[in-house]
């Protein structure tokens, strides 16, 4: 966000910013940083359990997913365009210009 500020890009007026892992400083940034929170502790516990299981001769043939959560804060606003799972759309303050 510092680099965007130095370039004169306004967050969130011109661009939304989302971090990852919801660091402790995220709510105290200006603007406060939206972030994706993942259950790191649970992931570590499961990894250790699987490692012990494998060291005992066990085999895994499945994958496990862990739910993440979007923590909405000031750096995130709804945009004028709809996003799909296969594209990230970058817009300027002029809605008629969009880049994929």
State the pLDDT confidence band at 94, using cuts at 50, 70 and 90.
low
Averaged confidence pLDDT in the chain: 83
pLDDT of residue 56 exceeding 60, the answer is yes
DSSP string, the chain: -HHHHHTT--TTTT---EEES--TTGGGSSSPPEEEE--HHHHHHHHHHHHHHHHTT-----------EEE--TT----SS--BTTB--EE-SSTT-EE-
The predicted-structure confidence for 8-53, as pLDDT tens digits, reads as follows 999 999 999 999 999 999 999 999 999 999 999 999 999 999 999 9
Domain span at residue 84 reads: 2-99
Count structural domains, the chain: 1
Q: How confident is the model at residue 69, as a pLDDT? A: 94
pLDDT value of residue 96: 45
């Amino acid at each position: 966000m510092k680099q965007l500020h130095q370039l004169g890009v306004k967050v969130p007026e011109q661009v939304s910013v989302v971090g990852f892992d919801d660091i402790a400083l995220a709510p105290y940034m200006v603007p406060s940083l939206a972030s994706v929170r993942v259950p790191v502790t649970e992931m570590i516990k499961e990894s250790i359990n699987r490692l012990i299981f494998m060291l005992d001769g066990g085999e895994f043939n499945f994958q496990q997913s862990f739910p993440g959560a979007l923590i909405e804060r000031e750096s995130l606003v709804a945009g004028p365009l709809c996003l799909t799972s296969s594209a990230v759309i970058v817009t300027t303050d002029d809605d008629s210009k969009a880049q994929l």
